[in-house]
Amino acid sequence: MSATAKKQAPNAEDIRARKGGTPLVSLTAYTTPMARLMDKHCDFVLVGDSVGMVLHGLTSTLGVTMEMMILHGQAVARGLSQAMLVIDMPFGSYEEGPQQAFRNAARLMAETGCAAVKLEGGVEMAETIRFLVKRGIPVMAHIGLTPQSINTLGGYKVQGRDAQADAVLADARAVAGAGAFSVVLEKVPQKLADKITAEVAIPTIGIGASAGCDGQILVVDDMLGFFTAFKPKFVKRYADLGPLAEAGIAEYAADVRARAFPGAEHVFADQAPAAKTPSKG
């Protein structure tokens, strides 16, 4: 292969094959410009239903719709050529049963071109995962803290401590056995995350889990400091762009009010500038 050959985006089986290898890198994206920035650095990019809280000001992910996921999925797809695109199934689009899940997952894939969908739930979603996979829809599972279930979980709490550990482990085994090509572990104790990673044959993707997972994912607006309403314990801020952006906006506002912007270099003369005469060689 030529050293300059264009990298091809991985598919679900490529991700599955990375089990135990170089850790998988992932971030969320919701817009074309952000997708372009992360394309060459990520193995897969997730259009998460976190878009509801990050970009739309919702207090949870429960108000996110299929139309929102499709709109943002299409935007992110335009910015990717090297990373795999995965899109969240929103709340209410798959829980009713396998047939409902298939209709909505098929629509999501057809209208965005994504390579896989992600859905939340363990043992109770195994039948649906199996149904989708058998019909050609790759599924990334999501267990531990499942944000769409915060009303039954009692909030954004760590899942899998003490007596809960066996249930989370059972969830991991169930989704792997049903055919999911990978599984996100969210807010799971480190020891349990390591145990799951060692036991299941598919890659584990940690978010507030363990460095021993087969990969990691973060919400990009969290790790870049754009989302400042709160910072989860598991987030490392690799940049603090929110305050920088606000400072830039404040400077712009001050310049406008002082009539310092636009300056002479930003406005146009009545006459077009004369064309330059080519110099003789």
Residue 127's domain is classified under what CATH number? Answer: 3.20.20.60
pLDDT band for position 1 (cuts 50, 70, 90):
very low
Active site residues: 186
Query: Model confidence over 15-49: pLDDT tens digits?
Result: 999 999 999 999 999 999 999 999 999 999 999 99
Whether 273 is covered by a domain: the verdict is no
Q: What is the DSSP letter of 147?
A: G
Q: Which domain holds residue 91?
A: 12-240
Query: Model confidence over 238-280: pLDDT tens digits?
Result: 999 999 999 999 999 999 999 999 999 999 999 888 887 776 6
pLDDT for 150 equals: 79
Report the number of distinct structural domains present in the chain. Answer: 1
Whether 271 is covered by a domain: the verdict is no
Q: Report which of residues 193 and 157 the model is more confident about.
A: 193
Residue 124 is assigned to a ligand binding site: no
pLDDT for 5 equals: 53
pLDDT for 2 equals: 46
Whether 187 is covered by a domain: the verdict is yes
Whether 94 is covered by a domain: the verdict is yes
Residue 49 is assigned to a ligand binding site: yes
Answer whether 200's CB lies under 8 Å from 176's CB: yes
Answer whether 54's CB lies under 8 Å from 218's CB: no
Q: What whole-number percentage of the chain has pLDDT above 70? A: 97
Label residues 112-136 b or e (16+ Cβ within 10 Å = b). bebbbbbbbbbbebbebbbbbbeee
pLDDT for 165 equals: 97
Residue 118 is assigned to a ligand binding site: yes
Query: Model confidence over 120-169: pLDDT tens digits?
Result: 999 999 999 999 999 999 999 999 999 888 788 777 889 999 889 999 99
Give the whole-angstrom CA distance, residue 281 versus residue 273: 24
pLDDT of 196 > 90? The answer is: yes
Whether 278 is covered by a domain: the verdict is no
Q: Across all residues in the chain, what is the average pLDDT?
A: 94
> If DSSP codes are grouped into helix, strand and coil, which group holds residue 186?
strand
Residue 214 is assigned to a ligand binding site: no
How many beta carbons lie within 10 A of that of residue 268, not counting itself?
A: 7
Residue 43 is assigned to a ligand binding site: no
The DSSP string of 262-273 is: S-GGGS--SSPP
What long-range pairs does 135-138 form, CB within 8 A, spacing at least 24?
135/102, 137/102, 137/105, 137/106, 137/109, 138/11, 138/12, 138/181
Whether 65 is covered by a domain: the verdict is yes
Whether 175 is covered by a domain: the verdict is yes
Whether 275 is covered by a domain: the verdict is no
pLDDT of 53 > 60? The answer is: yes
